[in-house]
């Protein structure tokens, strides 16, 4: 049995990772300041994890939580593009300074490996598709820039200090527990909420923009593989599906599930949003043995089951 520390473990992605680790019989510590995470996300593992309400910006406070930890999965972040544009200073403090604190604490504690949750936002809006890790990053927002800085810090700590670290560029993650009321939420959670309330979904832009939507279960699988995969330390890898869907096609897919025909409302594009996104997952397949097991339509159906029970 290994000991895992999950920063941001009460969040959307983090809670799924925590649940899977508990299911596997691992020892799990969760560190979250609950700025976007929710304690109810961890109800299913209550009493089986160590829980710490802490902020990664406070190095002295988080240091003791790393002692005796084998693996750190670092998800805590300000993960909203619009919020990072409105307040780049806070985005910098959480995503860069906070990540540096996590790496320092992990190195001091003798952690075996850190997994850093990066983002496809580092690529910006390059016309080259699918996105390949070797292409030049061109972030369009402070959020994308801070994630790129986090990757570089991971590489530096691996090369200079010998701390094993892997950065995973998550693409457009969706699934149960993604809160449609939050400004940090992905578009699919907002669509689900609109459909279940019989409201007209809103698309920012013309709907022809594309996304590589990846079900959260696939993200969990790739992240846990990265903890122990040989040859992965110091690497940056895409985690998506390798496919892409327009938002208009996504509405049609939801129409098919709900048995209706919807005419979405179109609004101006959001500042900092990219037009097209698609992952080349060849590197993750080779180094992690990663293969997305849950496809788009199946992921939508699994998500719907959860949203039906939560949307009022």
From 100-104, 149-153, 185-189, 297-301, the region with the lowest mean pLDDT? 185-189
Q: What's the CATH number where 21 sits?
A: 3.40.50.720
CA–CA separation, 13 and 278 (whole Å)? 20
pLDDT digits (tens, 9 = 90+) for 222-244: 999 999 999 999 999 999 999 99
Q: What is the pLDDT of residue 312?
A: 55
In a domain, 121, yes or no: yes
Q: What is the pLDDT of residue 310?
A: 79
Q: Give the confidence band of 273 by pLDDT, cuts at 50, 70, 90.
A: confident
Q: What is the pLDDT of residue 183?
A: 55
In a domain, 262, yes or no: no
Q: What is the pLDDT of residue 187?
A: 86
In a domain, 202, yes or no: no
**Is the pLDDT reported for residue 154 higher than 70?**
yes
Mean pLDDT over all residues of the chain? 94
Predicted TM-score (pTM) of the model is: 0.94
Q: What is the pLDDT of residue 274?
A: 83
In a domain, 204, yes or no: no
More confident call, 126 vs 201? 201
Number of domains the chain contains: 1
CB contact set of 216 (below 8 Å; sequence gap of 6+): 12, 13, 16, 173, 174, 175, 176, 177, 178
Percentage with pLDDT > 70 across the chain: 98
Structural domain boundaries enclosing 162? 3-174+215-241
In a domain, 295, yes or no: no
In a domain, 278, yes or no: no
Q: For the residues 80-84, what does the mean pLDDT come to?
A: 90
In a domain, 187, yes or no: no
Identify the active-site residue in 71, 143, 195, 215.
Answer: 143
In a domain, 272, yes or no: no
Q: What is the pLDDT of residue 172?
A: 93
β-pairing, 3-7 with 202-204? unpaired
pLDDT digits (tens, 9 = 90+) for 109-140: 999 999 999 999 999 988 899 999 999 999 99
CA–CA separation, 9 and 18 (whole Å)? 7
Q: What is the pLDDT of residue 148?
A: 98
Q: For the residues 13-34, what does the mean pLDDT come to?
A: 98
Q: Give the confidence band of 149 by pLDDT, cuts at 50, 70, 90.
A: very high
143 is catalytic: yes
**Is the pLDDT reported for residue 272 higher than 80?**
no
Q: Are 137 and 148 in contact (CB under 8 A)?
A: yes
Q: What is the pLDDT of residue 84?
A: 94
**Is the pLDDT reported for residue 270 higher than 90?**
no
């Amino acid at each position: 049995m290994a000991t895992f520390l999950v920063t941001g473990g009460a969040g959307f992605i983090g809670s799924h990772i925590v649940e899977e680790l508990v299911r596997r019989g691992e020892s799990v510590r969760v560190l979250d300041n609950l700025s976007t995470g929710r304690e109810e996300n961890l109800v299913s593992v209550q009493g089986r994890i160590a829980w710490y309400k802490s902020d990664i910006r406070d190095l002295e406070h988080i240091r003791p939580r790393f002692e005796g930890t084998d693996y750190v999965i670092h998800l805590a972040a300000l993960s909203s593009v619009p919020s990072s544009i409105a307040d780049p200073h806070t985005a910098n403090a959480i995503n860069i300074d906070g990540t540096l604190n996590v790496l320092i604490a992990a190195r001091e504690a003798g952690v075996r490996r850190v997994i850093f949750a990066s983002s496809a936002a580092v690529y910006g809006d390059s016309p080259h598709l699918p996105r390949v890790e070797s292409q030049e990053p061109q972030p369009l927002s402070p959020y994308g820039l801070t994630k790129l800085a986090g990757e570089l810090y991971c590489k530096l700590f691996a090369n200079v200090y010998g701390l094993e670290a892997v950065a995973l560029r998550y693409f457009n993650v969706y699934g149960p527990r993604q809160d449609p009321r939050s400004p940090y939420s992905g578009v699919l959670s907002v669509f689900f909420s609109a459909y279940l309330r019989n409201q007209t979904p809103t698309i920012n832009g013309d709907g022809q923009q594309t996304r590589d939507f990846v079900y959260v279960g696939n993200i969990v699988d790739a992240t846990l593989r990265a903890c122990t995969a040989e040859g992965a330390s110091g690497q940056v890898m895409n985690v998506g599906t390798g496919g892409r869907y327009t938002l208009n096609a996504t509405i049609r897919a939801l129409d098919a599930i709900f048995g209706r025909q919807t005419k979405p409302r179109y609004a101006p594009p959001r500042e900092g949003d990219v037009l097209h996104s698609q992952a080349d997952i060849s590197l993750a397949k080779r180094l992690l043995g990663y293969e997305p097991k849950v496809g788009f339509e199946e992921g939508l159906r699994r998500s719907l089951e959860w949203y039906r029970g939560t949307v009022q």
